[in-house]
Amino acid sequence: MAYRTHAMICTCTNCVSNGALQIKESLEDEIEKRSLQDEIQIVPTGASGLCVMGPILIVQPEGVFYRSLAAKDIPHLVEEHFLKGRPVESLMYVPPGDEAPIPNILEIPFFKSQRLIALRNRGLIDPDRIEEYIANDGYKALAKVLKSMSPEDVVKEIKDSGLRGRGGAGFATGRKWESARKAPGDVKYVICNADEGDPGAFMDRSIIEADPHSVIEGMAIGGYAVGSSDGYVYIRIEYPLAIERLTTAINQARKYGLLGENIFDSGFDFDLTVFKGAGAFVCGESSSLRASIEGWLPEPVSKHVHATEKGLWEKPTVLNNVETWANIPPIINRGAGWYSEIGTETSKGTKVFSLAGNINNAGLVEVPMGITLREIIYDIGGGIPENKMFKAVQTGGPSGGCIPEQFLDLPVDYESLEQTGSIMGSGGMIVMDENTCMVDVSKYFIDFLRDESCGKCTSCREGLQAMYDILTDICEGQGKETDIEFLQELSEGIKTASLCQLGQTAPNLVLTTLRYFRDEYEAHIDGKKCPAGVCKALIQYRIDAETCKGCMLCNKQCPQDAISGEVKEPQLIDDEACIKCGVCRESCKFDAVLVE
């Protein structure tokens, strides 16, 4: 049936949590009520990318982008747009700082500046319908390799493309596959690492929710290339929607003969197992992940023997993350030459990032390698809310570093980020504004890492605890002059002595904040002040008598009754009763509450 309109309703985790399924039901009811079932098709999709604006509805073919919808908006939207042909401007996307909505999604800066490869089908297909993936060249690459390419041809294509693993280390994917291909043995494994544990990261989850077949097809191609008939997708249990869609996709692929025995009558057998992890951060490390699948404690082991020689159950194993596998089909379809022309000399292709923190357009983006941080944060991300000053961006998750303003024009590639003391990681990118305390940020992530450490290495187990204790003292006004040098020394020791990448990279954030924001540490220790006004032990709330209008709003909102004063008279804060919760500052309409 040919429909005149497709209503693409985002049903990613974020939109569902904000009521997308209720909006879908309202759409179905309104369309049925107006007898439009033969004209308008509702298509539930994965994330479109602009997650902060959910729930999202994209009307095609016009490309109208509706954001922040509620079920009560739907009757009016259907009446005006679907019946009368008048898009509802009040529900459209409006760029930060502008007043006029942008009528077409292709003109929205967030989308216009991206280059989609791993996310090629986002917001375009129903992830629960294999037919829609196939209609968009799905499984064409698998058919190509099984019908016309040898395993060695496939390995060479991936090598020539320059694709590097998108899970963090950036190792050459083709070289890894070649090593496993050459390893002796009839039993080999391929694994997809979907154990995404970085705070603020949602790349892998979103890819699986939007386009699970891209990962399945990529893994099948990888299995053929290295000589494996068994694959595992290791995914954390906290991703129920991704697990559901992945399981549905695997069952559909089996039904269509795209997984299982004798795929495309080629003699190639391949199938997948979904393994649900319990959510330990350390399971993102390859040897810990394999131990978890085997039923052992997820503790890392020394990598004196590569997994491509002895991995899962001592058999040659290739492990790549979700984004890496999703890149494989388009590389096979369009060729290594096409892919290698994108990006930089040493960092080919595109990279998916999750933009989070103090940024207007929080969401999922895919950009060519070599794009600058400024372009990502300001052109695509829409800049900092309330026109506040940019302070830093953290890349690489808890194991990454904080990059200051002086590097905003830095090209984003593996080598450039490493030069700043940070890493690419799997693609988390957290933006921080002028009100962020870098000492507090360091404390937060060290707290996360010490809690997630497996405890095997003394350097990591005890070292991270010691770092957390020092950072806590500094934030509470108990810091000592020797703390900065000790943090530096302790960080270097943990990096050197730890067994796995969690420990070896754990001090990165502290090292970069010491390197670029040392003055904040010194202010906390020497002046007993928190310049950002975050650390409660080092700040004091005060109401400016000249600015205060005596509206009494702060007085009424204070949970401690710490504010006194008469109507239309300046209010006063009782320092002893004040718990520094910030409610008074948030409620004041005249910016009369100061933090000192």
Q: Is residue 1 pLDDT above 70, yes or no?
A: no
pTM: 0.94
For residue 379, the model assigns a pLDDT of 94
Residue 154 is assigned to a structural domain of this protein: yes
Q: Which domain CATH number covers 480?
A: 1.20.1440.230
> Are residues 517 and 547 both part of a single domain?
no
Q: What is the mean pLDDT of residues 299-325?
A: 92
Task: Give me the domain span that covers residue 15.
Answer: 5-109
Considering the domain boundaries, does residue 87 fall inside one? yes
**Of 375, 406, 433, the domain-final residue:** 433
Respond yes or no on whether the N-terminal peptide bond of residue 55 is cis (omega within 30° of 0): yes
Spatial contact of 221 and 140, defined as CB atoms under 8 Å apart:
no
Task: For residues 166 and 225, state if they share a domain.
Answer: yes
Q: What's the token pair of residue 372?
A: 């600058």
Q: How confident is the model at residue 115 (pLDDT cuts 50, 70, 90)?
A: very high
- Kindly state whether residues 260 and 330 are assigned to the same domain: yes
150 DSSP assignment? -
Q: What is the predicted pLDDT for the residue at 218? A: 98
Residue 305, pLDDT above cutoff 90: no
Residue 587 pLDDT > 90? yes
Q: Is the pLDDT of residue 289 over 90?
A: yes
Q: What is the CATH number of the domain that holds 92?
A: 3.40.30.10
Distance, CA of 204 to CA of 326 (rounded, Å) = 10
**Is 120 inside a domain boundary?**
no
Asked if residue 535 belongs to a domain, the reply is no
Same domain, yes or no: 422 and 453: no
Taking residues 246-264, report their average pLDDT.
98
Domain count, the chain: 5
- 378: domain CATH number is 3.10.20.600
Structure confidence by residue, pLDDT tens digits, 34-71: 999 999 999 999 999 998 899 999 999 999 999 999 99
Locate 205 and state its tokens. Answer: 């989850």
| 366 and 391 belong to one structural domain | yes
| Residue 116, in any domain of the structure | no
Domain check: are 415 and 461 in the same one? no
Average pLDDT over residues 503-517: 94
Crossing angle between the packed helical segments 508-516 and 438-452, to the nearest 10 degrees: 170
117 in any annotated domain:
no
> Does residue 49 form part of some domain?
yes
| DSSP line for 79-147 | IIIIIT----GGGB---TT--SPPSSGGGSHHHHT---STTTTTTTS-TT-HHHHHHTTTTHHHHHHHH
Report pLDDT for 502.
83
Same domain, 311 and 199: yes
Q: Verify that 11 and 89 share a domain, yes or no.
A: yes
Whether residues 76 and 211 fall in one domain: no
Q: Are 318 and 173 in contact (CB under 8 A)?
A: no
Q: Which of 340, 362, 386 is the last residue of a domain?
A: 340
pLDDT at 196 over 70: yes
pLDDT of 24 above 80: yes
Does one domain contain both 156 and 9?
Answer: no
The answer on 312 and 171 residing in a single domain is: yes
Evaluate whether residue 170 is within a structural domain.
Answer: yes
* pLDDT confidence bin for 332, thresholds 50/70/90: very high
- The conformation of residue 388, written as its DSSP 8-state character, comes to P
Beta bridge partner(s), residue 60: 6
Tally helices (H) and strands (E) across the chain. 24, 18
The β-bridge partners of 270 are 260
- Residue 306 backbone zone (phi > 0: left; psi -120 to 50: alpha; other: beta): beta
Beta partners for residue 58, in sequence order: 8, 65
Residue 214 has pLDDT above 70, yes or no: yes
Specify the CATH number for the domain of residue 578.
3.30.70.20
What is the arithmetic mean of pLDDT over 71-86? 95
Q: Which of 497, 526, 555 is the last residue of a domain?
A: 526
Q: Is pLDDT at 280 greater than 90 in this prediction?
A: no
Whether residue 330 is found in the same domain as residue 355: no
Query: Taking all residues of the chain, what is their mean pLDDT, rounded to a whole number?
Result: 94
Which phi and psi (to 5°) does residue 43 adopt? -120, 110
**What is the arithmetic mean of pLDDT over 554-569?**
94
Q: Is pLDDT above 90 for 314? A: yes
Q: What is the pLDDT of residues 231-250, one digit of tens each?
A: 999 999 999 999 999 999 99
Q: Are the beta carbons of 67 and 96 closer than 8 angstroms?
A: no
d(Cα 193, Cα 213) in Å, to the nearest integer? 15
Identify the pLDDT of residue 304: 72
